[in-house]
Structures are given as structure tokens and as C-alpha cells.
Structure 1
Amino acid sequence: MARKGENEYFTLFVKMSEVALRTHKMLTEILTDFEPDKLSEQLERLHELESEGDRHTHELMKRVAKDFVTPIERDDIIALGRELDDITDNIEDILIKIYMYNIKSITPEAMDILKVVGQCCEKVNNLVVEFPNFRRSDSIMKDIVEINHLEELGDDLYIQAFRSLYAKGGDPLEVIAWSEVYRQLEKCCDTCEHAADVVECVIVKNT
């Protein structure tokens, strides 16, 4: 049985993944009822969640620095913590880019990819909730495979969104803006897959 101090690592992983889920939910609500004039205020609200995630990350790193014994290798704790933090950061960066490029309406393609990002975040959350039991879990490898499949779906949607954007042409500035937003959306899926890869490596090394 893991000691209390060791369990704290897994608890922090869950807290970080929950922040990512809440950040995605807030972003989805903002883009569903999109009001460009309110973006500045909405960015502040989203940044509060990102800051909460940062606090969990700092707590994780402090524990790694001071604890003599850790439940898994230090490098793996640090790698997973960074990937979980990056998920939240990358979701926030979607809205930052929308604000920076002064985008006035949201494309259906963006919402389709954002939905997949949310599914990835949910699977990552399932993954870290189950992580303390990785040696006995029947579901953790299934979640890793599912995250890989979702990342591939995100890639497909990203490619189609890009093709549609350039096929339609239009205002070059708008094309540039959406190119950056689509890249950021796809990056969120990639980061979820990276988090799953870290967990998979831990399983391989410890079973």
C-alpha cells in the first residue's frame, strides 16, 4: 500500500487534469455563445484556471525536490506534471490567439476539433484517476489506446479544416488567423497523447 505522501503525487495529477477539463468546458461555453466584445474579460477568467493549474504544478515540483522516496521515478513525475500543465496552457492559448487575431466568429471546424480536445481531456482524467492502480488496472491501457485514436481523429479534422480554409480563400489575414488557431487546437490533442505516453512508459518500466 502506498504511503500518504506517495498518494499525494497521484492526487495532484488528478487535480491538474481536472483543471484542464474545467478550462476546456469554459472555453467551449465561450466559443459556443461567442461575443468578441467580452473576450478580454473572458480571458481573465480563463487565466484564473490556468493559474490554479500552475499552483498544482509548483506543489508537485516542490514535493519531488524534497521527498527522498517517490512512488515512480522522479523524471516520470516531472514529465507527466509538465504535460498535464501544458494541456491547460494550450487550451488557454486557443482563446489568446482568437483574441490576438481579432477573430469575430467561430468556424464549425474549430468547434469540431474542440469537441475532440474535450474527449481527450476526459480520457486523460480517467487515466490519472486510475494511475495509482496501474499494476492491476484493466482499463488504463484501453484509455491510452483511446487517447491515441482520438489524437488521430483530431489530426484528420485538423487536415480537413486546413484544406477547407485554403480552398475557400478569402481574406488573407483571416486565413492566417485561423491557421494559427487550428494549429493550437491540434496541439492540445498532441499534448494529451504525450501525457498518455508518459503513463504508458511508467507501466512498461514497472510491470
Structure 2
Amino acid sequence: MSLNSIFQYFVPKDKKFFPLFEQAGSNLIEMAKLLKESVHTTDLQLRKDNSKVLEDLEHKGDNLTHQIHLELGKNFITPFDREDIHALASSLDDVADFIHGASNRMELYKVTETSEAMKEISSLILEATEHVAKALFELKDLKNIRNITDSCVRINSVENKADYIFDKAVAELFEYEKDAINLIKNKEVLSAMEDATDKCEDVANVLESILVKNA
């Protein structure tokens, strides 16, 4: 019996890890939606309220990561390699951390006016998390490898777009922003947002590693 056959034999019985990963993916989408709303709104109270909700969702993500790690300790049989489960959980947690971090920096640094680059990257973060969630949903059935691969390719494309927008925005800040404090504030927020897309790409890399091992 091939390793893939063994894998397929156990996957349908798993009721621990896949639901947790799917919850983590849905949680990231909710966080990304709130960040996008905050970046696009001029209502500072709404932005403050969203920041509080984002903090709660970030804690929810931490709890999901903790549950996944607990299940790793309790279960001898896992749907795929233990190190990949750990890496996937950690990379999802990183995405949540940086989405929350971007919102938190906007509040801490009192960034009242968001730039066009922030709006564009916030939209890309949402797009990336949607692809992450889709791939996680498909993970429980590796017969749909093409769907997972397609999501990973799209995540990488989104990350490349975010990199370009970030680099261009920072270059323009250094060229045109004369207020050093505003420059630092904007760069810090942009950096956290761009890091969120980087972490989505890390998720894609782990998923691709899982596909290679179980193809």
C-alpha cells in the first residue's frame, strides 16, 4: 500500500485537525474584512471599534493554534506529517498577528488618514486570506490537489502585488513626505500590512510541501 493510500485511509476519520484549520481560515477572513473596512473608512470611532474586535479575533486565532498543538500531543495518528501540521498552524497564527498588528499600529500611532497604498494592500490581504481559507477547506480531500495548487499560485501572485505596492509607496514616502514622524507612522503600518501578505505566502509554501509529500 502506498503512502498516499495510507493517507487517504486515515483522512476521512480525522475530525480534529481539519475543522480547526477551517476555523482558522474563516477567522483570518473576518480579520481581513475588518482591517479593510478600517483602512477605507474615515470614521475614527468605527476604526477604534474594529481594532477591539480584531484583538478578540487574534486571541481566537491563538486559541485555535493552541488547540491544534494540544491535538498533536494527544493523537498518535495525524492526517499528515506532524511538523507540517505545526508549521501550518504557526504560519496561520502569524497571518493573524500581522493583520492585528497593522490595525494596532494605526490606533497606537493615531494614523487618521490612510493612503491609497494602504487601501490597496488591505484589499490584497483579504484576497489572500480568502485563497488561504479555500485551500484549507480543500485540504481534507487531496483528490482536489489542483484546487489547492491554484489557491497557492494566487496567494503568491497577491503577495507579489503587495510587495510592488509597498516598495513604491515607501519610495514615495521618502521622496515626498517632509514630516519625519508621519513618514515613520505610515511606513510602520504599511510594513505590517505587507508582512501579512508575506505570511500568507508562508502558508502557501507549507501547503505546497504537504501536497508534494502526499501526492
TM-score above 0.5, yes or no:
yes
Matched, 1:175 2:183: yes
Q: 2:148 and 2:46 mapped to 1: Cα distance?
A: 40
Distance, in Å, in 1 between the alignment partners of 2:112 and 2:146 is: 46
Q: 1:151 to 1:3 in 2, by over 3 A?
A: closer
Seen in structure 2, the aligned counterparts of structure 1 residues 122 and 38 have a Cα distance that, compared at 3 Å, is closer
TM-score (norm. length: structure 2): 0.90
Residues 139, 40 of structure 1: alpha-carbon distance in 2 compared, 3 angstrom cutoff: closer
Q: Match for residue 32 of structure 1?
A: 40
Partner in structure 2 of residue 125 of structure 1: 133
Q: What TM-score comes out, normalization by structure 1 length? A: 0.93
The amino acid that maps onto 2:85 is I
Contact 1:50–1:88 (CA<8 Å) still a contact in 2? Answer: yes
- Give runs of aligned pairs for residues 13-162 of structure 1, distance below 5 A: 13-36=21-44, 39-162=47-170
Do the aligned residues in 1 keep the contact of 2:42 with 2:113 (CA within 8 Å)? yes
What residue is the counterpart of 1:10 in the other structure?
Answer: 18
Q: How many residues align structurally? A: 207
* 1:124-148 deviation per Cα after TM superposition (whole angstroms, max 9, x unaligned): 0111011112254331111111111
User: Which whole-Å CA distance do the structure 1 matches of 2:70 and 2:197 have between them?
Assistant: 28
More deviation in 72-81 or 24-33? Answer: 24-33
The secondary structure found in structure 1 opposite 2:167 is helix
Tell me the distance in 1 between the aligned counterparts of 2:188 and 2:139.
34
Question: Distance between the aligned counterparts of 1:143 and 1:29, measured in 2?
Answer: 24
- CA drift of 1:20 comes to 0.6
Q: Deviations over 1:50-77 (max 9, x none)?
A: 1111221111111001111111111100
Code of the aligned partner of 2:125: V
Structure 1 gaps of 5+ residues are none
- Identical pairs, percent: 26
